[in-house]
Amino acid sequence: MFRLQGSKVLAVDMTGDAVKAKNGSMVAYDGQMTFKKMSGGGEGLRGMVTRRLTGEQMTLMEVKGHGTCWFADRASEINLVSLQGDKLYVESSNLLATDGGLRTGTSFTGMRGASQGNGLFTTTIEGHGQAAIMSDGPAVVLRVSQQFPLTVDPGAYVAHQGNLRQSFQSGVTFRTLMGEGGGEAFQIRFEGDGLVYVQPSERNTIAGDV
């Protein structure tokens, strides 16, 4: 149902089913479609409570109908992720669309959220189906194994999936060592077995000034 046209436009073919997408990301459609605004950041009471606690400004819309709908957002690169009953963790600003049957929620991220100034929760997606995530530049998918843990700059982190454990450690970037400033006060360390998606361009974070 999800397919890419180029690297920056998502095409979704629908036959009466629905998708959830970032509000305002529809760029064109053919056939008969209906659009309904949804609350973001998770479903149910827990999602409502966490949105109130964090002030997370994630707004989704439900698109339903027959035909093809095209989505894009600020010329961001789009990456398709297939879920087979597992869970994907993604920054809310990097989520473009999901199959209507996938469940969305929120997960506490601890110090990483505080260091980024993005709130303390990350969006979760789970079930069977596809999700489309965005990155500033082509995303790189990095494998984490028991033998090879991975440390990621929080400004470059996009998403992760698999059996991974997160921890947070203070550190600096190479730019700081070279006297250019902007070093991150925290880094994210992943251990276990899974995949981490990173982008080649850092978003602005509070951590760089701490």
Per-residue confidence (pLDDT) for residue 177, from 0 to 100: 55
User: For the segment 166-188, what is each residue's pLDDT rounded down to a tens digit?
Assistant: 887 776 555 555 555 554 467 88
Give the phi and the psi of residue 116 in degrees, each rounded to 5: -90, -20
How many of the other CB atoms lie within 10 Å of CB of 150? 19
39-77 residue pLDDT tens: 644 455 555 554 454 445 567 899 999 999 999 999 999
C-alpha span between 167 and 129 (Å, rounded)? 28
pLDDT computed for residue 201 by the predictor: 82
Q: How far is the C-alpha of 142 from the C-alpha of 145, rounded, in Å?
A: 10
- Residue 210, pLDDT score: 27
Residues 6+ apart with CB under 8 A from 98: 19, 20, 21, 104, 125, 129, 130, 131, 132
Per-residue pLDDT of the chain in tens (210 residues, 90 and over written 9): 899 999 999 999 999 999 999 999 999 999 999 999 876 444 555 555 544 544 455 678 999 999 999 999 999 999 999 999 999 999 888 999 999 889 988 776 655 444 444 445 688 999 999 999 999 999 999 999 999 999 998 889 999 999 999 887 776 555 555 555 554 467 889 999 999 999 998 765 443 332
Whole-number Cα distances in Å, 38 to 44, 55, 94, 96, 143: 12, 16, 17, 14, 34
